[in-house]
Amino acid sequence: AIKQQLAKTRKHFERSFGAREVDFAKITQECGLPRFANRALFRYVTRDMGESSKSALSGNAVIGKRSRQTDRETWPSFEHFCRVWTRVRRASADIHALLFNILVDDATNLRPFLTRDDMKVIVSDVVDHHYELEFLEGQGQFLQSYTETVVERIFYASGRSWDGKMQLSQFRKINVAGILGSIEDGIDVNISNPGLFSYKHFYVLFCSFFELDLNRDSMLDARDLLRYFNGTLSRRIISRIMMGKGKPSEHAPKRPPNDAKAKAKAEKRRAKGGSRYDLNVRLSDCRMTYTDFIWFLLSEIDKTSPTAVEYWFRCLDLDGDGVLSIYELEYFYDEQISRMEEEMAGDIIMLDDLMCQLSDLVRPEHEGMITLKDLRRVPPTIIPVFFDAFMNLSRFVEHESRTSCLQRQLAQLSMRALPKTSFEDVIQMRIEFLASLPNPWSEFADLEYAALLNDHEQTEQNYDEAAAADSSVDVAAA
């Protein structure tokens, strides 16, 4: 396979292609890599290229409005490319390992993981060269935010990348090579289920953040998060989120002064049950960055994803022992009971009744002790019910009506199929129906994007009407 790939690429090296990185895409695709892996491969091949490794045939000036800093004075020679490609290809078991090695390989810092900066190489290639994203050129901060969003979504989808380090197994799991290949046909236009590079999804995330960021300092505090969906989240879960318990925050909070007064205060809080809190963190000092918010919103909207399950489990696990005890869940549910008394006219679900229902749904290995392993075995439709019961009262109440609606749809499907269809086929039809339901995040993003566009159009219409009214007044005054 290596010899065949090199034979295909030889003809390109025998002609002068100039010095632009974009021209090297022909080589990238001949090697079996996606078009948008071109920048990564070009950087990898030319990284240690000396004068003797340059091609004698290519040396034209860099031209074109979309020339980049990655453009070089010349392509590498075919002999140099053969050496580099053969080495990395033999060290890679499949296309996932190949792309991983090209991205991670650094002669000055050998490591078995990818960082966000590594991933920005392929994201920037998409931004610079995809026809749907040409409008982002020259947009500065907006372009940077889009890049950050896509990188964070890739790390979020990989799961267990809380420390910003992605292993090969995680890279292979999310199939980055496949994603890069699929977006060649489009990112949002005529795409039924936009993926990680979706501009619409980015726009929803970006606007949702700045809708809460009233002082425009690109940071959210606990008071900002209290306004999320009109105060739907409990104060206690917000404190855990802001302390970075779900995902370690990019903004490190300040530590209280190390003096006798501070120590005495900490001891007093500990005596009152302070073990439920991080005594070294003051909530007023905690901030949520935009990248932290991406993880929060994705987890809040779609609680069924593996990353979301772990995110909320970590928030509820007050002592960090990997087990949710009845005492920890009671701590969060106490606030929910208070909200029920205020908002539901005394219609209260007591904790004992709730725990009986949840235990039947979750079926933990040890009664009264729920682990992350237990929750990962639970059907996806149950997970949001479990978490929302302890932190999002309005969503918890909505689940009952949604479940009833879904049950009616499944019943109608079965009634139409039976008795003409076998029972096994009916079961398969029900499974396919459930699988066809829209992803919670995609459904939310589509609705929010439509609402944002409508608001924008309404604002422009109001502005035009106001401008026309002013013109009429000026004409009348004349």
> Is the CB of residue 320 less than 8 Å from the CB of residue 259?
no
> Is the CB of residue 30 less than 8 Å from the CB of residue 8?
yes
The overall longest dimension of the chain from CA atoms, in Å, is 84
Three-state SS at 300: helix
Three-state SS at 289: coil
| C-alpha to C-alpha distance for 115 and 118, rounded to whole angstroms | 5
| C-alpha to C-alpha distance for 280 and 273, rounded to whole angstroms | 15
Segments in 63-215 forming alpha helices (H): 78-90, 95-104, 116-129, 141-158, 168-174, 176-182, 199-212
3-17, 28-42, 326-340, range with the lowest pLDDT = 3-17
> Is the CB of residue 172 less than 8 Å from the CB of residue 258?
no
Highest mean pLDDT among 247-251, 253-257, 444-448: 444-448
For residue 66, the model assigns a pLDDT of: 44
Band (pLDDT 50/70/90 cuts) for residue 27 is very high
336-338-339 Cα angle (round to 5): 65
> Is the CB of residue 165 less than 8 Å from the CB of residue 113?
yes
For 49, half-sphere exposure in the C-beta direction (CA atoms, 13 angstrom radius) is 22
Give yes or no for a cis peptide into 257 (omega within 30° of 0): no
294-229-404 Cα angle (round to 5): 100
| C-alpha to C-alpha distance for 91 and 100, rounded to whole angstroms | 11
Q: Does residue 102 register a pLDDT over 90?
A: yes
Q: Does residue 365 register a pLDDT over 80?
A: yes
The per-residue pLDDT of the chain, averaged, comes to: 82
End-to-end CA distance of the chain: 81
Write the pLDDT tens digit of every residue in 407-455.
565 566 666 676 777 766 666 665 555 555 668 899 899 999 999 999 9
Matching residue, tokens 């090697």: 31
pTM: 0.84
